[in-house]
Structure 1
Amino acid sequence: MKYPVDSIRRFGIAVSIKAGMTQQNAEIFIDGMIAADLRNIRSHGITKFRGYLSRVEHGVSDIQAEPSIVRTAPSTLAVDGCNGMGSTVAWKTMEACIQTARETGVAFAAVKNASHHGIGGYYVMHAAEQGMIAFEVCNSPKLVAPFGGAKPLLGTNPISIAIPAGQHPMLVCDMATSVVAKGKIALAIKEGRSIPDHWALDAEGRKTTDPVAANVGTLLPFGGPKGYALALIIDVLCHCLAGANDSQHIPRVFENLAEPSNIGYCMCVIDIGKFLPLHAFQQSVDELFDSIKRCPPAEDFRGVLIPGEIEFAAAQKNLAEGIELSEPVLKEFRELSEKYGVDFYIPQN
């Protein structure tokens, strides 16, 4: 069933404040999950709410921590997440990058001691809305086999990019370097569904459609050696440069409630206005997108889409119609309502 976005948002913010967040950080936290659900990335949406708070309740994430952001050169930022909430760390790092890029034209931040922050698209889209081009990568627990291997050694290590346009929606590339994100396996388990057999291997290195078997096995890199190369590069940036754990030493975020994550992020923001007027850039992007979309469609396709276009359309639709909440998520909401003393009433759309 679908439920109104405003009702979900109010409930989530109220619970987050009761759990120890400031109003601002609670809004960032909940809006990030809602952004995922609006774009139909349900694996990173409000289904993660209970899991994040479980880490707080077990003392392995500090809900009140603020990141330490040190400007080490005109365009570079070294960030210690101080084991805070991933949404707080990532949003405030991106804000610092935006402000730095306004001064110097470009900003690069390397972040350690962070935690799971939801979809990277939430943060890079925020920068694109300010007239910036933004990139973000992060590493994650070992879930993916290197190309040719049958044992997980790398994370899903996602990469997110947003580029503003004019008349067109912004380009948004937000993807794991595995065939799918781990959250899709977790969501399939929660909802009792099977998975395609090209997503993962079981513990014996065999293809599987069982998400439970996949959860104890290994995901596969997208594009074989190409996804593997990108995942390894991201681990180098987040571990060797930023100082976070490598994927082999990041604990499973929602299964291990005894150890801090020490995940790493790297963010880069480019101020378009330092190269040419923003409107001229946007016009050029629109013209390029128009030329791409004029491409004749292949068989069984209705036309060419710009990356992020499907998700943009979904977000507009879901804002009006509401967000899908499964019965397991509703059950978790009721438990949170009781635990934190927040009234639970979310009408169906």
Structure 2
Amino acid sequence: MAEDVRVSAEALTAFMQRVFETLDVPPQDARMVAEGLAWASLRGIDSHGLIRLPSYVMRLDKGIVNPRPAMKVVKDLPAAMVVDADGAHGQVAVTFGMEKAMEKARFAGIGWVLVSATKHTGAVGWYTRRAAEAGMAGIYIGTSQPNMAYYGSRVGGVSTSPICISVPRGGGRTITVDMATAAAGVGKLMHHKATNQPLGEGWALDAEGNPTTDPQKAELPMPLGGPKGAGLSLVFECLTSLMVGPSYIRRWLAGESRIHQQSAIVAALDIAAFTDLDSYRNEAELLAEEIKRLPKAAGVDEILIPGERSDAICDRRSRCGIPVPAKTWEHVAAVADRLGIAMPATL
């Protein structure tokens, strides 16, 4: 049986960049997409890292992703903007959107950017942390096709729509909440299939619409908190794709269009426009310290602030390499072999 391997983030990034360049993605964009995927793997968000490479290649092969998009600003307001991504990789389109949101926040205190007609956006903390590291609050809300069961149904009715919020704290760190409206997103189910780890109760439905904890039978994520996750996903669709055109989800359910699309909101708030930035960072750090000093429940070694777990994993994987399940490595190797690209060196 094949064994898991370890690879450095640098080697992984360079390899994925070569893959994308081979598929006609311009070098700068290829690097950006590769960095976004490697960032996820480095921080333990394995569901949105290297495991996604075969599906990204498949979408390029099928013309679902535009390797050379002509993105354009279709509406430009003092504190808001609408961007048509022209089928761009999410890492390219949403990075552009967050840069514009931050520019507007420096001018107006807040920047709100709607990005339409993009594709899979990867680990969305990559965008919000960028704002937090610049002294702002960063927000991401996204939606896609109906790949999650709506509460009370046995089939997909809404998206696993993620929401992510990052704010700065002391020591150059951030408080980052990054979550899907699903109990476990599509990527997490993919990772459990690759590692054959059992699923949690209430995570997924099988092909017949019945709850399952078998990762090999899981077909459809279930909403987090039942009606709460389903309702959040529904209003996220109303805030994103409905604001720039017809609903992606309605068109998919009606059979009008079943091409993978995503739309997103990226927002930035310039904290210095509201209060002293250093004081804010200091107070956020003090708040985090008070939370961490709360009495621990039985079996809990440390109370964590959102973002600390991935920070610790990033530190460890930067030193020891990124672990890749054998099944994921096998699928990536098949892509490399087809494209005639050498696999990255292992550690």
Contact 1:15–1:340 at 8 Å: present in 2 too?
A: yes
Over the matched positions of the two proteins, sequence identity in percent amounts to: 27
Matched, 1:84 2:88: yes
SS in 2 for 1:83: strand
Is 1:168–1:286's contact at 8 Å kept on the other side of the alignment? Answer: no
Contact kept, 8 Å, 2:19 with 2:341, in 1: the verdict is yes
Residue 299 of structure 2 corresponds to which residue in structure 1? 300
- Code of the residue aligned with 2:117 in structure 1: it is N
Aligned equivalents of 1:171, 1:287: Cα separation in 2: 12
What residue number does 2:37 align with?
A: 33
- Of 98, 107, 111, which residue of structure 2 is paired with 1:107? 111
Give 1:344's aligned residue.
343
**Gap runs ≥5 in structure 2:** none
Aligned twin of 1:95:
99
User: How far 1:138 sits from its partner (Å)?
Assistant: 0.7
Confirm whether residue 143 of structure 1 aligns to residue 144 of structure 2.
no
In the alignment, the residues of structure 1 paired with residue 12 and residue 189 of structure 2 have an alpha-carbon distance, to the nearest angstrom, of 24
CA distance in 2, matches of 1:211, 1:141: 22
1:43 aligns with one of 47, 52, 65 = 47
Q: Cα RMSD (Å) of the superposition?
A: 2.1
Q: What pairs up with 1:1-349 in 2 under 5 angstroms?
A: 1-167=5-171, 169-215=173-219, 218-243=220-245, 245-249=247-251, 260-348=259-347
How far did 1:18 drift?
2.3
Change (3 A) 1:28 1:345: closer
Q: Secondary structure of the residue that 2:138 maps to in structure 1?
A: strand
1:202 deviates by: 2.4
CA contact (8 A) 1:106 1:270 kept: yes
Alignment partners' CA distance in 2, 1:244 and 1:265? 14
Is the CA contact (8 Å cut-off) linking 1:244 and 1:262 kept in structure 2? no
Whole-angstrom CA distance in 2 between matches of 1:326 and 1:259: 31
Ranges in structure 1 where 5+ consecutive residues have no aligned partner = 252-257
**What is the TM-score normalised by the length of structure 1?**
0.91
- 8 Å contact 2:7–2:344 — kept in the other structure? no
- Report how far residue 245 of structure 1 moved: 3.9
- Choose 203-212 or 265-274, whichever is displaced more: 203-212
Q: Tell me the residue number matched to 1:255.
A: none
Give the number of the structure whose residues are more often strand, by fraction: 2
What is the CA distance between 1:22 and its match in structure 2?
A: 2.5
Change over 3 Å in CA distance of 1:262–1:143 after alignment to 2 = closer
After superposition, what is the alpha-carbon deviation per residue over 1:112-159, rounded to whole angstroms, capped at 9, x for unaligned? 111111111111111111111011111122132222333320110110
Instruction: Give distance in 2, aligned partners of 1:200 and 1:323.
Output: 27
Match for 1:331: what amino acid?
E
Change (3 A) 1:147 1:80: same
